[in-house]
Structures are given as C-alpha cells and as structure tokens.
Chains A and B, each alone.
Chain A
Amino acid sequence: MMSELVLLRHDLVLPVLVGLGGLWLVFVWSVRATPSRKRVLVKSMVSFLALFALAMIALRPALPQPMDKGVGVLLTNNFSQTRLDSLQKAHKGIALIPYAQNRSLGPVLDSISSLYILGQGVAAYDLWQFNDVKASYLGGPQESGISRLAYRPSHTLGDRLQLDGRYSNPQSDRWLFLQGPGEEGLDSVALKRGSTQTFRLEAPLKVSGNYGYALTEKDSLGNQLHTEPIPVQVGERKFLSILMLNSSPSFETKYLKNFLAENGHQVLVKSQLTRGKYKFEYFNRDRTPVYGMTIKDLAAFDVLLIDASSYRNLSANARRSLQESITEHGLGVFIQPDAAFFRAAKKDDFFDFYSTKVTEIGLDDQGKMSLGSFPYRFKNDFLVEEIELMAPPHLAAYRKLGMGRLGSFTLENTYQLVLDGHTDRYRELWTTLLEALSNRTMPMASWSASDDLAFQDQAFHFTLRTRIEQPLVVNDEGDPIPLLQDVDQPFLWHGKTYPQKTKWQYLKMVQDTTARFDFYVMESTDRQAMVAFNTHEENKRQFQEAQGGEETTMVLQPIALVWFFLIFLFGMGWLWLEPKLYGQDA
C-alpha cells in the first residue's frame, strides 16, 4: 500500500530531507556522550521518529482512498427546470454545478462520482475536463433559430449562391430573407410553425470580391428580428484555353466555338479539310498551329475537345502523349461521340455503356426543351464520375486518369438548343461539362478551415497545403502564426489563430503574398442556434460512450496530520523526560 502513498508537497522532499537529516545527525552526535549505548539507540530512534513526523507534517503524505461521493448535475445554457426538478427528486442532495466556459471544474468534479449534464452542453474546448467523470448528457430544449446551414463560401463570378439550411422550432408568420451586401432582398422563404423546417435560398452572384450577405428573420410587419452574416467570396472568372480537333467541320463545333470564343476563352479549332490539309481558327490567341500532338503542344491547353473519329485515328505516338498529358499534366479531354464510339467502347475500356431505347431527352418539366441522344447511357463504374447536367442521369461522365479527366456524353447535336432559342440552357450544359473536365490550376497554397466558423477571440484552426518547404504565415496585423507540420504529409501544415477583429480577416504566406486566405470572423452573438446545435451534437457524441469507467473512483486523501503531531509530541516528550528519569549522566 505504501507504493500508493503520495507526498502532496513532493517539491519540498529534498530540503526537508537534507535539513532534518542534518538535524538528526547533529542530535545523534550530541547524544553520543551518553554512557549507555542502549539509551543512545533509543534516543536516536525516538528523535528519528519525531523528525520523521515533522517531515511528514511538512510533506503532507496522502493515500488514495476509494471515494464515496455524491451525484452532481451540471447546469449549462438553456437547461430545462422541470428536468432539474425531477433529478432533484430522484437524487436527494444532488450537487448543482453551474457551468461557465473556460473555467476549471476539477475540484468540484472530484467530489462527485456521477454527473448529469443539462442544457445545451459543454463547449468543445471544455470537454477534456469530463474525461474522468461518469457523465450522462440529458440535453435540453432545442434553441429556436437556424441550426444548420450549408453553402459554398467561395464562388466564381456568375455562379449562383445556394444556401441550404434547417430552421429549428420556427414560429409562424416569420420570413427568412437572403439579403445582399447592401441589404437588398434577394430571396425569401416563409416559416411555418413546427419542429424543424428545411429551406433553400438562392441568389445570382454578380460582382467579385468579399461580401457579407445576410440571412435575416423578419416578422409579418417587416421588423428585423435577427440577422446571421453569410460571408461569400466571389472570385474573378478565369478563361480556359481550349483545343478543338475535328476530322471534318461540324455544326456542333461551330456553335461551341462561337459560344466559347465570344466569352473570351482562347480557342484553337483544327478541322481537317482533306488529307494533310487543315483549317485552323484562332480565337483570342496567337497564330500558332498545332500539327502534332506532343506533350509540349498540349501543355498550352486546359481542355481538348476531340471528335470520336479523330480520336480513333490518333497515331500510337499521339495517343501516348495524350495519355501522358492527361495523367501527368491534368489535361481535360472531351470526346465528341459518334455512333461508332459507343460500339467500340468495349475495346477501349475507359467507359462502359448500356443501351437504351430512349433517344429523346427532355431537359425541362414542361417538355418544351428536348435534345437527341444516342441510344446508350453510361454505366456506373468504379472511377467513372457522373457529370450532373440537370437532366436524366447517366448522360455524361468522366474518368479520372491521374491528374486529368477524360469525359464524354451521349447527347447528340446539342446546338439544337441554340436553334430552338434555349441559348442559356445550351451555355449551362457546356459550362457544366467543361468545368467538370478542365485542367485545374495548381495554386501555391491551398487553405482550408477545419471548422467553417471563426469567432472573435476563439481558436480558429486552419490547414495549409503547400509545396513551399518552410511556409511562414502571418495574419493581417503581420503577426506570425506558428505552424505544425503533419507527420505523414509533409506538405500539410496545421495552424491555430485567435482572431481579434470581426468581419473579413486574412492570413497570408510570406513567401507568396498571392496565397491569401480570407476568412470571416463572426461576433460571439452570431450563429447561436447553430453553435448550440453543434455543441449539443458534440456532447451527445462525447457522453454517449461509457465515461469514467469504474463505479468507485480513488481519490488522494491526505493522512490526518494529528497523528504526526502526536508522534512528534510523544518523541519530544520522551526526549525531555528521559534524562529526568534516568539521570543526566546516567
């Protein structure tokens, strides 16, 4: 049992041992003159005991004791009084522990053996304190407000902002408005009384920059009740460089090149006129013809649009360099199919098709917009990713090959949409296709936040992926932020910052100032319902697993000092009495 003895003041062990040891030696030396050896021995023993007791008084020894402790209830934000009442009824004398964020609960928690947590729950950064306590999370009433919000915070000019969310405990006669940066209304949804309501709000993004959109709740009189900031980052459009290869001029190519060239993309169209003769059209680019298909030639392009017959007739060399351009340099390739392409599909195992009888695709609900298609559809396949065209499924897909993508569709004569006057739908279709396939630019640094929300004066964790060897990151004040390199992935760095100001802030890399990370810092009053919901979920997860293990916890109990005092007093008394009993010199 002694092994479990713990000295509470173990920091004093050395001075006490040295001091008292010295004292004892002096004492032993002073009593050496005593004639009786036996008395010397007894005196030394007694003095040792007394000094030992003195040492113990100073060092406060403690022994772990099985604790016979009470039950406690932790009261966090928004707890239910009725639940507390019933708990108090069930456990007489239950200890009430109020919860305050960021404060140590150690001593209080030590005194209880099991804990109930009522209300919203414990903040994520305080959860560690409850690792050793057997706690059960009982939760509380759900806070009314937006408990879930999903949207892409960074977009490109011309995209649509799409906001999906869930509102908990909505009240009737309330409206949610999506407001632009100038507080202009963009979209709205009426709330209905119930437990939860999901909603979707949309708005076109017309300007680039960092904006604070807002989600505002209003009552039927138009009074603003609550506003949640919706930070949105809109980047400029970057043009694509496109190569189109055709074995003969086609209408599909003609319309597509017009669309792309008019929008400012660099387009090179190479159509074969006859053997060895080509028609080259250069839009928004230099007059540099591409004859072969070398890796160098292809490196200048983001997307290659090639018709199936040209693709079939590629020489082995060209095919090899094309393959390498895709896998190594990330080129996107789109094959404009013909009937033979689907028949030959088995041989070429990039795609697998199943046949269908449907050759007319409706693109809207009214049936006014339709397109022809080949009687084939893409099979679901490993590594084949479908391209969603806002149309029936399996019409378009790509296969990821190394860093690049190779895709196609089973549609026919999409320019028919333009002829029918559905120009926007046509543009949408090709925009989706080309964006899915095109080569991605490799940024110097890619930033991400492990938690989407940054709050003022709270830790904000971010990760940085970069090829720069020793990245240095500073915040907008110029203060450096320490980074931690990932053990397994050398290009991955973790960091943590405590933003001091609200609204848009940024982090940037010293080595490359263009690699800037803009993030929006909320005020502590923002997103409360969402924070509450997240805390609730996190608590549920944390306290679901069995906590604290054993029924009886061992607690260090200091040994009562009175015993040591008694030993010391007894020792001192004996040393005082002994000469009187046996005589000074005896």
Chain B
Amino acid sequence: MIGPGHILVQLQRKWRFRQGLEIFLWALGPAVLGYAITMKVGVGLVLFFLVLLVLVLARKPWQLTLAQVSRALDQKLPSLEYSSGLLLRPEAQLTDLALIQRQKITEVLQRSDAQLVSTSPMKKAGIAAAIFLGLGILIFQLGWGIAGSKKSRLDQKEIIQVQAADSLARQHPAPTITQQEVTVRYPSYTQKPMLTSGSMDVKALEGSRISWSLHFGSSVDSVLLEQGETTLRLSLKDGAYQQSMTLTESGFYNFRFFDAHGGSYITDLYTLEVTKDTPPTIELPELKQFTSFDYDEPKLLTFNALINDDYGIATAQIVATVSKGSGESVKFREEKLPFDTAPTSGQRQLNLSKKIDLAALAMTPGDELYFYVEAIDTKRPKPNTARSETYFAVIKDTVTDQFAVEATMGADLMPDYFRSQRQLIIDTEKLIANKARLSKEVFNATSNELGFDQKALRLKYGQFMGDEAEAGPEPVQEVTTEEDESGNPLAEYTHDHDGANEHNLVDHDHDHEEEGPAGKAADDPLEAYLHNHEDPEASSLFTQSLKSMLRQAMSEMWDAELHLRLYTPQNSLPYQYRALKLLQEIKNSARIYVHRIGFDPPPIKEDARLTGKIEEVSGFQKQEDLTKPLPQAHMRSAVARLQVVLAQNEKISGVDKELFSQAGQELAAMALAAPGSYLKTLQGLKWLSEDLETPREQLYEVMTGLMQALPNLAPDPHKSAQFQGNLDKLVQKELEAYDE
C-alpha cells in the first residue's frame, strides 16, 4: 500500500519529467531550423543549448516543492476540497476529522491519477517543435539556406577540372577557380525566372541567354571559351571573367586560360543542350471524327478542346470549311470561328468549349463541314502552331446523287433525248419483225406512235436550233397521251438520268446569267450548255458545227416520221439510221479533251519515222566522280592508331594529335543529337589532341568510346586476294577435263 504522501511525491516526479521534456522540445525546434539554414552542426548545437539553458533557468524545474504540487492539485481538482495539504502532514498531528478527510482525498487522488498533470504545455511544445522541423526540412529541400546558394553545395564533380595543356604550364601551380557560375536567362515569353547554377553543363530552352562568370584564385592572363571551331574571349568585369551568348544549337564547350607565365590550361568539356519549345498539343475528347445530322434534327455540335503547351498558349481558334455541292461544282467556304470561352493568352493549359450550330453556318442538307482546332503558342519570334485532326460534320442529304457521266467527258453535256433515236430504231425493227403476228390496226397504231415519238424527238432538237416553228407543225394537237404536270410532254418517254447533273452544267455564280433577263435562257436553250465565258470564237465554232449537222439530222428525222406515219416503218429505217449516225457525230464533236498533266512527248517527226535512218542518233558519254571518303574516316583511323599506341607502347606524336582532333570534330558532329552520351570520349579526344600526359586506361576508354560511337558500315563488295599456284591450275584443268 502506497502511503498518501507518496502520491504527491510521484506526482512531483512526473511533473518534473514533463517539464524537462517540454524544455527539450522547445529547444530542439530552433536548433534544427538553425542547422537547416546554415548547414552547420555547431550552430544547431549552440542554439539547442542556449534555448535549453534559458528555459531551464526560467522554469527551474528542480524548485518544484511538494507544497507547490499540493497547491496546484487543490486548484485543479475541486473534489480535493483544498485539503491535499493534509497529505503532507504527519499522521500523528491530524485530528480524527482530518484523518477522515485525508482518507477521502487519497481515494480521490488515486482515482483521478491520469488528469492530475496537465499535458497542454507539452502539446504546445510538441507542435512548435514539429513546425520548426517542417520549416527546417523545407528550407533544406529547397536550398533556401545560406549555404544552398553558395558553391559549397556544389557537387565535387561539378567543380571545374583544370588540366595543364602544355609543358610550360606544368612548371607552375595551376590557377584555381574559386567561384564558377552559369546564369540562364530564359526568353521573356516563358516567364521563367533566371536560373543560376554552379554546374557547367547547360540544358536550356532555345533562345536562352547563357552567361558565364569565373573567379580565379590567382591572376590569369586571358580566358577563352572554346565551342567547336569558335572561340569567345571572356572579359574581366568586377573581378570575374564573364561572357554570354544566346543558345541556338546543342554542342560542347570548354574553357582555356593562360596564366601570367603564358602556360595554357584547359578545362573539362561541358555540354550545351538545347531544348526546343514544343508546339501545343490539342485534344478534343468525346468528339467523334465524323458526325452526321438528319435534316430535321437540331444541328448542334458541342465539344471541348484541351490545349496544353510547355510555356504558354497565345491564341486558339477553330478553322472551319463548309463544302457545298458535289462533283465539279463543289464550293468551299472557309471561316475562322472563335471559341465560346475566349482563351487567355499565356496560359499553359486551356480548356475551351465551343458549340457550333450548323444552321448558323448556312448549311443545307448535303453540305459538309470540316474543321480543326488551331493553337499558337507564345514563342517569339516565330510562334509554334499546332492543329488538331480534322473533324467532319455532315447534314445528310435526302436525295442520293447518282452520276452518269460518260467516261470520256468531264461533264455530260448532251441531253438524253439524243439517245432515243436508237430506241426508236430498235422499236421500229421490233415492229417490222412482229408484223406478221400483229393485226393491221395494231401495227398501224404502233407505227403512228413511233411517228409521234420521232416527231417529239425532232421538236426537242428543234428547240436547240430555235427553228421548230418552220420545221413542222406543232405536235400538240395530236397528243393523245396525258401530259404530265411539269409540262414536259416527253417525261414518260424519256429516261431521265441526267437531270440530277444539271447543277454541274450551270454555274449560278457567273455574271452573264444574272445580267440577262430571265427569259433569255428559255429563248436560247443552248446558252446554258455552251458555258460561254466571253469566248465568242469557241462558242460560235461549237454552235456552227452543231447547227449544220443538227439541221441535217432533223431533216432525216422528218423523213423518218413521214414513213412511220405512212405505216411503212421499213422505209423509215434508213432515215432513222442516218439521223442516228449524225447524232453520233454531234456527240463526238462535242467531246471535251482535257489537257493531261505530266509527260508531254515531243511531236513525232512523221517523215523520219520508221525510215531506219540513224545518222542523227549520236552516242553519249558521261563521266562522274562519286568517290567519297569513308564515313567517320578520322574516327576509324584514330581507333587504329590507338590500338598501335597501346599494343606497342608508342608515344603520341604531333600527327596523332591532329588526327585525334579531327576525330573529335567528327564525333562532336555525331554527338549533337545526344550530347550526353559521347561526352567522356569527346573529352578524352580533346585531351589526347592537347599536350597532355594520358594514362593508358584513358586511351582504352577513348578507344572503347570511339568503337561504340562508330556506326556500322553498309555492305559493299570488295576485291579479295587469293594465291593460285601451278598445282591449282592443274587441279582445275583435271576437274574440267573430268567434267567433259
């Protein structure tokens, strides 16, 4: 059984421990933060102990007396009835009542043990420590600390390595580079902040401005930046050698500097890698490539366009093309449509919506809409343009177009009535053949009908001639068949295929039609077919040749009709045939020859053709030199030379250095595509071409690198060597003899 006083002692201990922990937590936070900022352990430790000391002195946890504990308990727990002090008194000094009270509060204390010591200051301290810790980690990660911006954060690898490039330089200690800095200023449109780094390998956007700044520990005479064939001199400004250039293409560079004694030094090779501003990407999710609408449904096309770009989009729009009509008369109209939500310039990501009403674009059934989304980014001076795939929207046509264009003609200019002459001949021959089986009335009636058809055909042609009145009496009074509503007396007899094609023949946009009175087309039906583009010569020639032949054909038809009407179809046949022949000729004369695109053979000299004379045919001689050096010849020679140097422990001569330098140029050209991969080899070649002592391992490395970089050679036949002695010849002879 624990004594009642003991409870207070226990509480006192617990209290002290918690106070200690609290002080520790308060001290820990600033210490971690201090370390994160300065990256120095000492700073952290000093801070820790300083805060610890201050807090310990302020709180004095060792001064916590039992009386204080008792007072605090009384305040905290009303159920103790301010009598926890009884626990501290010896039992003998207490009255009976006091003893009972003491018994009571002991029970209370034992019951409520957990709530006795407050944890809230601990929590506060814990939260504060966590906040400091979080801040510290953040600063450490982002490198915002004092140390982060300085070169002490530089990786050992990134510090510029200097090599003496001549024997003069080896006599003196090499100047050291105390501070190195590359600044990349991105083009203004990217809105990216300036970047400063200690690493000399630069990877930046095309058009960025790169500045170098080098501080030397001892004085140097001059500093050069060597990039391939070009050399830039760094100028001394504010104690640092500086130079800048605009990044246009990938490559390699190194620094070369001369000390006060004239000794030359070169540094490692570093990469300049250009990244390109990529054109925007456009996505049109949930939009089908091909959408079709019925003529009676609402023709609305709704879609969203997701546009992304690496540095910002300047503008985006929809380019729509409406096509009307078909075949040769198709017409296009291009329109640029803005999005419903106007794009904000400079955004990297846009989600634009658009609702296209096909009706608003004056589209009618059969019309098609092609459109794509075009986005332009903010790149200067020449922005990147990207376009999406092309999407289609069609309003379905209710009629189906069926073209019946003759193979030889671009457009079927002939009315179909001409064909009826052949039909008439067939019917006439059929009638003659069936004469025996038919009654005389039927025969005569059919013959008369055919005569009417022949007349109708003649009249139709007469329309083209404009002289039907003179050519014969009106057929109307004789018409016994019902006329169709459209007023076309031949509707029943014709086989109208070509009506649908009529829009091909008439271009409504031409001015001459709009100028003339409405009746003019009817007065001169040929007008529509002539397609007269103010070319009277072509027009009249065409019309003249047709006219004379048509007139002849019509007079033949006239005779044919006469004989049909006289119920002597056999007599009418020769006239019909002649009429058909003439019509055929008209068709041929009206053919359109299209000039073919492509090879235009010279006209054949008919007088020289097939004569067998070849005096003028001359021989032909051509001489060309296509020899070109082996690709990467210097690289290949460099490998071969390295092999000899390694195998026979030879020294690298001046000629070799020249070779390695040329090989380096070849490799650099290859390396432009992937600057990182060949850097080490290139570096090695650079050093080999300078006056440097190169260890064998490095020679191996360079050789390996070159071998790997060299592309395979394409197959090519070559001449081989083979020794042939007398014995070989004898054996061959024997074998041949055996074969025979």
Q: Which residues of A approach B to under 8 Å, CB–CB?
A: 156-158, 180-184, 204, 206-212, 237-240, 260-265, 273-284, 287, 289, 302, 330, 382-383, 400-403, 423-424, 427-428, 430-431, 433-435, 438-443, 445-446, 465-467, 488-489, 491-492, 503-504
Contact = CB atoms under 8 A, between A and B. Distances in A.
Interface stretch (B156-164, B352-360, B596-604, B622-630): B622-630
B643 A282 contact: no
12 contacts: A158-B715, A206-B713, A262-B628, A277-B614, A279-B619, A283-B624, A402-B729, A403-B724, A423-B714, A440-B720, A440-B724, A441-B720
Interface stretch (B54-62, B263-271, B697-705): B697-705
Interface in B115-161: none
B191 interface: no
Contact of A435 (B624, B717, B723, B732): B717
Interface of B: 614, 617-628, 630, 636, 639-640, 643-644, 647, 700-708, 710-727, 729, 732-733, 735-736, 738-739
Contacts of A431: 715-717
A157 B729 contact: no
Given A158-B713, A204-B713, A446-B723, A238 B718 contact: yes
Given A289-B621, A440-B721, A284 B701 contact: no
Contact of B621 (A206, A264, A282): A282
A401 B627 CA distance: 32
A262 B640 CA distance: 25
**In the A-B complex, the 3 residue pairs with the closest CB atoms:** A182-B704, A446-B723, A158-B713
Contact of B714 (A264, A424, A433): A424
A423 B714 CA distance: 10
A427 B717 CA distance: 9
B719 A503 contact: no
A284 B732 contact: no
Nearest to B639: A207
Contact of B713 (A157, A280, A383): A157
Nearest to B638: A207
A207 B647 contact: no
A280 B618 CA distance: 12
Given A277-B619, A382-B739, A402-B732, A240 B712 contact: no
Contacts of B711: 206
Given A181-B703, A208-B640, A427 B725 contact: no
B113 to A, nearest CB: 61
B625 A284 contact: yes
A184 B707 CA distance: 8
Given A273-B620, A275-B614, A287-B621, A440 B722 contact: yes
A488 B727 CA distance: 9
B619 A209 contact: no
Contact of B619 (A273, A302, A441): A273
A253 to B, nearest CB: 14
Nearest to A271: B620
B736 A287 contact: no
Given A206-B707, A281-B622, A281-B624, A427 B723 contact: no
A396 to B, nearest CB: 14
A183 B705 CA distance: 10
Contact of B643 (A209, A280, A446): A209
A157 B718 CA distance: 9
B701 A182 contact: yes
Contacts of B722: 440-443, 446
Nearest to A428: B715
Given A239-B718, A240-B718, 8 more contacts: A237-B716, A261-B624, A264-B626, A284-B625, A284-B627, A423-B714, A431-B717, A441-B719
Given A262-B626, A263-B716, A277-B619, A211 B732 contact: no
Nearest to B703: A182
Contacts of B703: 181-182
A182 B700 contact: yes
Nearest to A443: B721
Nearest to B614: A274
B624 A282 contact: yes
A182 B715 CA distance: 24
A438 B719 contact: yes
A565 to B, nearest CB: 66
A427 B713 contact: no
B714 A427 contact: yes
A465 B636 contact: no
A284 B721 contact: no
B630 to A, nearest CB: 8
Contacts of A262: 626, 628
A280 B620 contact: yes
A158 B718 CA distance: 10
Contacts of B623: 281-283, 287
A362 to B, nearest CB: 20
B425 to A, nearest CB: 51
A187 to B, nearest CB: 13
Contact of A491 (B619, B624, B725, B732): B725
A208 B636 contact: yes
A234 to B, nearest CB: 9
Nearest to B713: A158
- Highest count of chain A CB atoms <10 Å: which of B619, B702, B704: B619
Contact of A261 (B620, B626, B712): B626
Nearest to B723: A446
Contacts of B716: 158, 237, 263, 427, 431
B389 to A, nearest CB: 27
B726 A491 contact: yes
